[in-house]
Chains A and B, each alone.
Chain A
Amino acid sequence: MKKRIAFIGWALFALLAVLPQSGLTQKFSDPPFKVKLDFNRWHDTNELYADMRKVAAAFPKFVTISSIGKSADGRDILLATINNPETGPEASKAAMYIEANVHGNEIQGGEICLYTVWYLMENYGRLEPITRLVNERVFYLVPTINPDGRQYFLEGPGNNARSGHVPFDDDNDGLFDEDGPNDLNGNGIIEQIRKYVPGKGNYRISKTNPRVMEAVGFGETGDYIMLGQEGIDDDGDGRINEDDLGGYDGNRNYPTDWQPNYVQSGSLDYPTQLPEARAEIEFLDAHPNIAGVQSYHNNGGMILRGPGAEAMGEYPWSDTRAYDELGKNGERILPFYSYIVLWSGLYTVHGGFIDFTNDGLGMLSFSNELWNGEQYFTSPELKEQQKDPASPIAPQKSRYFFDDKLEFGDQFVEWKPFKHPAYGDVELGGSWKKTTSRVPPRFMLEELCHRNMAFTLYQADELPMIKMGVPEVQKMDGGLYRIFLEVSNPKVTPTILEKAAQNNVVRPDLLTLEGKSVEVVSAGILDNKESYKIRPTITSLIDQKNLKRILLRNGTPGKTTRTFLYLVKGSGEVTFKYDSLKGGQASQTVKLK
């Protein structure tokens, strides 16, 4: 009892210690976090939302929970916004948009979003880079853009959860989703069905692995026949499991390079048809401060970027330069992940989300395919061993080994007898649970969350950020002044992607000059101020009629400092302001003298 009171006392003390304004120093070797969450299990939609709200309630100054719309089944599509109001309103800062789980079964991105909100908040004031990020940037997180699919996947057997819940008539009989698989034995898993027919079958139990069924060879017989997926003929049309839930692909419904269903399977009848896609598009279009996007999927260990289809053409070079820099560092943050172009490295996607956000909205976008099966056996020694077919971790056996020795049989479902209404005495089993293969083992989830968050925070840190140097005024003859104005973007991402500039989808950056009695004679751009000063050259003129409001349609590239050279007449104060939707604002005032 006494011990417990002491503990509470310590905990309170520790709590105070982590508050940045408390001034107390850390007394524990490890921070006692304010909100306890579990990152060693999967959260269904309700749990995920509840945990999001828990974090928001603990950090109300920074985290706002809202809904961007409703799913097909009427669930809220929850949005967590992280913004420090003391450093400016959302629209004044570059934002990172993070979403996940468009395919209902690709769940782990939801946990990453939750982890990200939690980590940013728990470490605000404790870790300088995190504090700075939260102060400088805005984060929008949608932990599941397909809340119906996620809930369905996690609360039931989870088959066909890739799709959403807009009813779809797969078998063209005028009925919708009327004959999916059935969990006949009620164990929460859709299993395979086998029937024992000694000496009369065409399947047998594998000699090398008793849990594997293999087709018999030419001239041989087996003891089993296979009867397909667990299910019955729900609609009495003579076929079993032919019209499962949904039947489309939520990530083929976006309005850039959308293609009809016969070109892009699963694209639905028209772009933006899904309520989830529509809600997301309208949210993004209304938030032009979003400069970076991450869309979590699974699996394969990839850091994907567009374009999704070859016919869309490669991105302009100045864009791929930024992508490559981020992607290559991503590979260092995420072992077993490769930075890949979607169409050439994975497969062609028409109407995918990141093509819309890059080409249609000018947001630098990645899509991580979370979890790589190579992560089961990671060391070079074990990889070498896997080349030997006799090894217990040879490719055909490695998953069974892992399940036995590390997950204690949690994932594989053994065969068990069952009385089928149509097939009589059969066995059900021989299946892997939904929580294997495409998602990591539960005990490895937290690392996946942290590493992927780290990559996305790195991207967030490399979103554009406009800085302006102190203008240098030189007095010349005839009441003229020459002003050197340095504008830079020290980050990797350009303020406006070249592709976005070509498509005219992002408002140009604006460089304005204010001065009551100042007239601009000319303006030009120098690449390097110092070389110009030593050896002046003829500069190009900015050929715009209103030089007090210069349009920079393709913005300021990443890692670049440019000097604007103004020639002005007049007197008094001059204020320069650079206004970028995605790179923030900067301004400077000087006096002509």
Chain B
Amino acid sequence: MKHAIRALGVVLLAMGLAAAAGAQDSAKYHTYAEMTARLQNLAKTQPQLVKLESIGKTRQNRDLWALQIASPGGVPAGERPALLIAADFDGDHLIGSELALFAAEHLVKNAAKPEVKARLDAFTFYLMPRVNPDAAEFMWAPLRWARRTNTTPYDDDNDGRVDEDGPEDLNKDGVITVMRVKDPNGAYIVDPEDKRVMRRADPKKGERGEYALYSEGIDNDGDGFINEDGPGGVSINRNFMHEYPFYKPEAGRYMVSEAETKAVLAWLVKHRNVAAILAFGENDNLITPPGAQGRYGAARTLDLNSFADASIAGASKTGMISAGGLAALFGRGRGGGGGGEEMISEEMIQMLMASGGGPGGPGGRPSGASASGGRSRMPARNPATVVNTADVDYFRQVGAKYAELTKIRTAPVLSKPEGAFFQVGYFQFGVPSFSTPGWGLPEAPRGQGGPGTGAAGAPGAGGPPAGAGPGGGQMNASAMPGMMAQRGGAGTGPAGAGEGEATAIDKAMIQWLDKEKIDGFAAWTAVKHPDLGDVEIGGFKPYLTVNPPAAKIDELGPAHAEFALYLTSLFPKVGVAKLEAVAQGGGLYRVKAEVENSGFWPTAMAHAVSARAVRPTMVQLQVAPETILSGNSKTSFIQSLAGSGGRQKYDWLIKAKAGDPLTLKVVSQKGGADEASVTLK
């Protein structure tokens, strides 16, 4: 019976239907309207506990919902340490949305249970279950492809035409997959072990490429590339500023260009009480916690899709021509030499310049620059990109608990966390910040999953060849790219350099789909293509490799809700541990105090201290400043107070009268506030 429900869920998902999967109302993927209704219902039925706020609008005018769950009364919700759960920055990651919704409903449903009530009394939970709703909605579109991007018009290949070459469903199965074409210039072969899998031919093993791979569709704009400029847009999980992938696909025109990104950041700036972040998405630091050096695990990609993506890498370089006229400048070309077009690359020019062959560049600093003079050059500083080694153990501990609660051991598809939201949480806002895809594959079979196996290495995976990155000045004279003859894909640039960390998981994914009886891989079938002739269309079906069957939600939901509650148990908690005043005679009092962090995490992570990202804990004696004669000053700050009972001592000599009340206040941005009073005797 359970099997039957699960199977039904799979079928419904595969068909893209939005109908509820039987009696289990939560075991389904919710459209935006359905999700909104659920959130509004929570706020309506529990108005004291739940507040629903729109933090912004998308291009298609959808509200971006933020839910606040906190017990009424006591410390205002905005001043309690808080956990933010946010999901669906990658528009196709719908499972994250469901897990966030599940967590919200779980908290509300169990609000009366003592262990939950204690958390709701002390802390605030914020939930943003769907941050990229415009993109997510395409899961229910009649034609589906793995779309992560919102609907911002975007000229992906920068050819002056926007969104003009999207995919076509040539085999009429309702999804966009991959085309393989027999091509002597192709770089790929069929894997002999599993005929569904394509891999790169290895000339060192005597293998000869037989196939070229493309995304399913036709060349709408006649530029020689297929599906190089589909509708939209920007993936919100590539639009944040940490390790932002400048000028790369799906990243947007510039950092924080999108309304969704801006709305989340503006909200975050106003909610400094957020003490930890749990993001659901196609990044992970929970299933595989950071290593001892603070590095996160490698990306995990489907080679088949990367290979097809690589077929359009040249589209955004068409029309780069050598700098004509330079030949003349260097005394060649005009009536002399070989005549015609002289090809001079940037590198050659740089070399000529370095040897003094060209006109002079700008001078150094003027000796006479007066008022702004005297400012010395600062040594170059770089932002942190790995978890501070002093913080790593905290992350690993959380990872261990995550594994214990969820039993997830192996991540599914993961992208590089470039411009990802969760990275901003730790690296810019200084709080422990976690990301998980929220579900997993079984343990990787032998020979799979390790870097460098078989088809792994995936040159070109995760975007354009490395040469397109910022600072890559190597666009040279020969950059008039080939057209259809794209040498089977990633042959157009020095791909792979620096991108070798990606692990291909095609086989593991197919095995999981088989085992779970999910129709997630379209068998290769012959189709006549208008330009390419005989092709076969097949491959991974969109959404099904990123989201597990809906029936799994009921299994994954409680574990993640538990995990969210666990995270709040780690929050720092400051308090006045001791306050005493002893009369010294003559109206003088010696005041001694100790403040303590009785929580688990420090009031600021080590990175937060070095990045000055978390406000120091403030300790303030509530007296007029001039009454303090010696000792500490009225206001002191602690950069970070260790958890598990870390203490700091204070000592003042003040002038006061017997009977005066004396109050000490301690305020921590992430660990709450406390105050204690004594009456002077």
Contact = CB atoms under 8 A, between A and B. Distances in A.
Interface in B327-355: 327-328, 333-335, 338-343, 346, 349-350, 353
Majority SS of interface residues in chain B? loop
Interface stretch (A110-118, A124-132, A256-264): A256-264
Contacts of A510: 160
Interface stretch (B179-187, B360-368, B405-413, B451-459): B360-368
B132 to A, nearest CB: 18
Categorize the interface residue count of chain B.
35 or more
A269 B428 contact: yes
A300 B335 contact: no
Interface string A266-291: 00011111000010010001000000
A63 B667 CA distance: 55
Given A272-B255, A340-B363, A369 B324 contact: no
A539 B472 CA distance: 28
Interface string B582-595: 00000000000000
B634 A255 contact: no
A238 B625 contact: yes
Interface residues of A, number: 101
A262 B339 contact: no
B369 A236 contact: no
Given A270-B428, A373-B371, A550 B324 contact: no
Contacts of A360: 253-254
A25 interface: no
B155 A531 contact: no
A372 B324 contact: no
B373 interface: yes
Contact of A502 (B342, B353, B473, B635): B473
A502 B269 contact: no
B292 to A, nearest CB: 23
Interface in B298-347: 316-321, 323-328, 333-335, 338-343, 346
Contacts of B378: 347-348
A87 interface: no
Interface stretch (A39-47, A317-325, A455-463): A317-325
B260 to A, nearest CB: 13
B570 interface: no
A336 B380 CA distance: 29
A321 B241 contact: no
A273 B266 CA distance: 8
A329 interface: no
Interface in A159-181: 169, 172-174
Given A309-B380, A313-B473, A507-B155, A528 B333 contact: yes
B339 to A, nearest CB: 5
B319 A550 contact: yes
A323 B362 CA distance: 9
A172 B368 CA distance: 39
A551 interface: yes
B363 A339 contact: yes
B471 interface: yes
Contacts of B254: 255-256, 271-272, 281, 356, 360
Contacts of A344: 364
A546 B480 contact: no
Nearest to B223: A545
B340 A504 contact: no
Nearest to B376: A347
A336 B610 CA distance: 41
A263 B383 contact: yes
A338 B366 CA distance: 6
Contact of A539 (B340, B381, B615, B634): B340
Given A174-B667, A501-B320, A507 B158 contact: yes
Contact of B612 (A259, A262, A325): A262
A553 B473 contact: no
A560 B372 contact: no
B73 interface: no
16 contacts: A174-B618, A238-B625, A238-B634, A260-B613, A263-B382, A269-B269, A271-B255, A278-B262, A316-B473, A321-B358, A325-B359, A498-B346, A525-B321, A538-B340, A551-B159, A561-B325
Given A321-B359, A339-B363, 16 more contacts: A173-B635, A238-B625, A238-B633, A255-B255, A262-B612, A311-B382, A312-B470, A317-B349, A317-B358, A324-B362, A341-B362, A525-B324, A527-B325, A527-B333, A527-B334, A528-B335
